[in-house]
Amino acid sequence: MTRIETARLILRRPVAGDLPAYEAYCTSHRTRFTGGPYTRKDAFEKLAAMIGHWEIRGFGRLILCDRFTARPIGHVGALQLDPNTPVEMTWTLWADADQGRGFAYEAARAYLDEVAAKAVFQTLFARVDANNHRSRTLALRLGACADNGATAPDWISEALTYRFDFKS
């Protein structure tokens, strides 16, 4: 699963050419719910890790691109930094101008449908900052269940956990 197409988006593996748009995102206020803003150096390291994640884990996040312009606008998909922790589902739009247009839902829905159809994971967890109301609403809209018994990860102490379960 390295490419998914929707009506308005192409979801594909990250590439080096995504760095300028990713740097703009990482150094902006949009990262406030994920530990940012970050430096340009941090952005480089984070994108390199996103690219390498595919090599090390065999899965990873996909970059959302506008289907008509090929402009990268965000990322979506599975993340597992520590093999002893559950696989996480992530979604992020990189610019304010793309928010509120349904791109995050469209991309996450397509990704989750693909994961379910191919039985890639049994469960995915989304960690969402308690103050990030848009992402909390999106998690529920995508069909996640709140996992009130989950412990927040150390990198986001105010996280709420949402669980996506897939039937096998």
- Using one digit for the tens of pLDDT, what is the confidence trace for 17-30? 999 999 999 999 99
Q: What pLDDT score was predicted for residue 13? A: 98
Buried b (16+ CB within 10 A) or exposed e, 45-72: ebbeebbebbeeeebbbbbbbeeeeeeb
Query: Could you name the CATH architecture of 3-165?
Result: 3-Layer(aba) Sandwich (3.40)
Q: What pLDDT score was predicted for residue 112? A: 97
Provide CB contacts within 8 A for 44, sequence distance 6+. Answer: 19, 23
Q: Per-residue confidence at 154, pLDDT binned at 50, 70, 90?
A: confident
Kindly report, residue by residue over 97-153, the tens digit of the pLDDT. Answer: 999 999 999 999 999 999 999 999 999 999 999 999 999 999 999 999 999 888 777
Query: In Å, what is the CA distance from 75 to each residue of 39, 106, 136, 152?
Result: 19, 12, 17, 22
More reliable by pLDDT, 158 or 8:
8
What are the sequence ranges of the domains in the chain? 3-165
Kindly report, residue by residue over 42-68, the tens digit of the pLDDT. Answer: 999 999 999 999 999 999 999 999 999
CB 93 within 8 A of CB 104: yes
Q: Per-residue confidence at 168, pLDDT binned at 50, 70, 90?
A: low
For the chain, what is the mean pLDDT?
Answer: 94
What does the alpha-carbon distance between residue 34 and residue 90 come to, in Å, rounded to a whole number?
A: 11
Nearest to 162 by CA among 132, 124, 131, 112: 124
Query: In Å, what is the CA distance from 98 to each residue of 25, 71, 81, 118?
Result: 12, 11, 27, 29
CB 126 within 8 A of CB 89: yes
Q: What pLDDT score was predicted for residue 167? A: 77
